[in-house]
Chain A
């Protein structure tokens, strides 16, 4: 039996719409740098897939409430047909039907998700449940699935190092449970954890000693050089102090945090390697891709890594050849460009090549309200396959936009929305309510802007502001009165699980008042909210 150098694990519980990008990218990078025996295991796709499949009766009940008869067999048939449409190049005229079916069914079947998973209201809940699980006082279907499958998987696929990524708050608890289970059953395996949640909350993970039973090291920031360095440390006894972006506990029990280092250029990252993943099990037959790293603006106050990630863009030739290869290797025509925000000039050049080379793909992405998106460019993007673009509007109040350092003006927003909409691209808007110091009147400007411009976008989200950035460094400027760094909490229990630092403000709305506006706005805008669903 081959022992893998590295096993990369995507833990439950999160959405399974398409593969998460981090691990396929890491695998490609580590492989390029000399380690060939690497395997990726997505435990989430299996578990979330089973959860959704077991809850199709919720969709049947939803229809019944509206007076319509539809059977679970028909629901399943619709899902299969929708997936086939999105795979078949000749069925592109039905794409919107397929997207709508899958999206709505996921939201309904995935609602009230806390009935089947652990849903912490704060980080202390995670600490408590981690302890209760040891005592046998807590069990759910997900921990049962983990216990059933994880040990067996690693017995059949032994590895020297296991890397677990934690991009979402809903995965923290289960990742820790997995880490502990691995270390108890396979004492020789080194467990390393990374991802956005670790970057944000590594202090809590290291300060709470019982968590030490779940990992050997943590990674903050970008993980490529850290994983590579850690493998060198484990296999070649290289000095752990030289591993960039690594956090570990030394033999004296002291938490050590090594300096961070980024790859020199994004071109050093090879094409993501999805070959280990069961692609047919994801909700959409879609692949993620990233043509840039960091954000070309990179100044928004609420962003957890503003001005620290750096901005790098791949060459257009490189982007096109990667997309071509992924399209042909994995037989997919749908892509999600998961960049923080692609610069208009870059996406325009990519669009040019997609059109000239008749690539015939459809893609979704994240963009900024940049005046460069004029009518001509939007038509061009649409022609190249751009289906929808998510824009962070964040606020329609000029004081709040300025305070956020968002760098956009409402005239630009209207200009871009009009051009996108007329080019048949679906703009999706995200708006933050409750930014520190924001008054009810200012928040209502955002709601009213969305109401007044409803014809210009396809979908809007109203989400509560979460404190995860370095705004605490300038408390007075942002009107932050007190911040609790020890026990991040979940303010909004209606969507995916996001933890942020608990805070109070010296001026503007309270958190409760902000939620009043959110509730009002969601109703006024007709945003159909399925309770406690990770799917949006």
Chain B
């Protein structure tokens, strides 16, 4: 799970599996704002466990703000700093 692209793909896969709206699933890309998918801070925190388990990491509180996880790309960058 080393490079950013593979991390990004995995994050995308997890988030897609969580979305109910097919149109959103089809249009999702690395720069799609998570908020536009309906993922606000509490929703992000609720699916965090799955992300952490997938990468075997624990993300600290100070990194958990919506600026650091604004898009799938920025979320992947954050995860990359832990793996």
Residue numbers of A with Cβ under 8 A of B are 63-64, 66-70, 74-75, 77-78, 81, 91, 93-97, 100-101, 104
Interface residues of B (CB under 8 A from A): 17-21, 24, 37-43, 45-50, 58, 60-62, 64
A-B contact pairs, 16 of them (CB 8 A): A63-B46, A66-B38, A66-B39, A68-B18, A68-B46, A69-B17, A70-B18, A70-B46, A74-B46, A74-B49, A77-B49, A91-B58, A94-B60, A94-B61, A97-B61, A101-B45
Given contacts A68-B43, A78-B49, 4 further A-B contacts (CB under 8 A): A63-B46, A66-B40, A67-B21, A96-B61
Q: Among B17, B41, B60, which residue has its beta carbon within 8 angstroms of that of A93?
A: B60
Tell me the smallest distance from the CB of A439 to a CB of chain B, in Å. 36
Q: Is the CB of B20 within 8 A of A68?
A: yes
Q: How far is the CA of A95 from the CA of B58 in the complex (A)?
A: 12
The interface residues of chain A, by DSSP majority, are classed as helix
Whole-angstrom CA separation of A94 from B7 in the bound complex = 22
B42:A96 contact, CB within 8 angstroms: no
- Residues of B contacting A67 in the complex (Cβ-Cβ under 8 angstroms): 19-21, 24, 37-38
When C-beta atoms are compared, the residue in chain A nearest to B63 turns out to be: A93
Q: Are B43 and A100 in contact (CB under 8 A)?
A: no
In the complex, which residue of chain B has the Cβ closest to the Cβ of A92? B61
Contacts of B20 in A (CB 8 A): 64, 67-69
Q: Are B61 and A95 in touch, CB under 8 angstroms?
A: yes
Set of chain B residues within 8 Å of A97, measured between Cβ atoms: 45, 48, 61, 64
Contact flag A104-B42 (CB < 8 Å), given A68-B19, A93-B60, A96-B61: yes
**A69 touching B18, Cβ below 8 Å:** yes
What is the chain A residue whose CB lies nearest that of B48? A97
User: Is the Cβ of A93 less than 8 Å from the Cβ of B61?
Assistant: yes
Chain B residues, CB < 8 A from A69 = 17-20
Cα(A96)–Cα(B61), bound, Å: 6
Smallest CB separation, B17 vs chain A (Å): 8
Considering the chains assembled together, what is the distance between the CA atoms of A95 and B41 in angstroms? 15
Q: How far is the CB of A60 from chain B (nearest CB, A)?
A: 10
In the complex the two chains form, what is the Cα distance from A94 to B24 in whole Å?
30
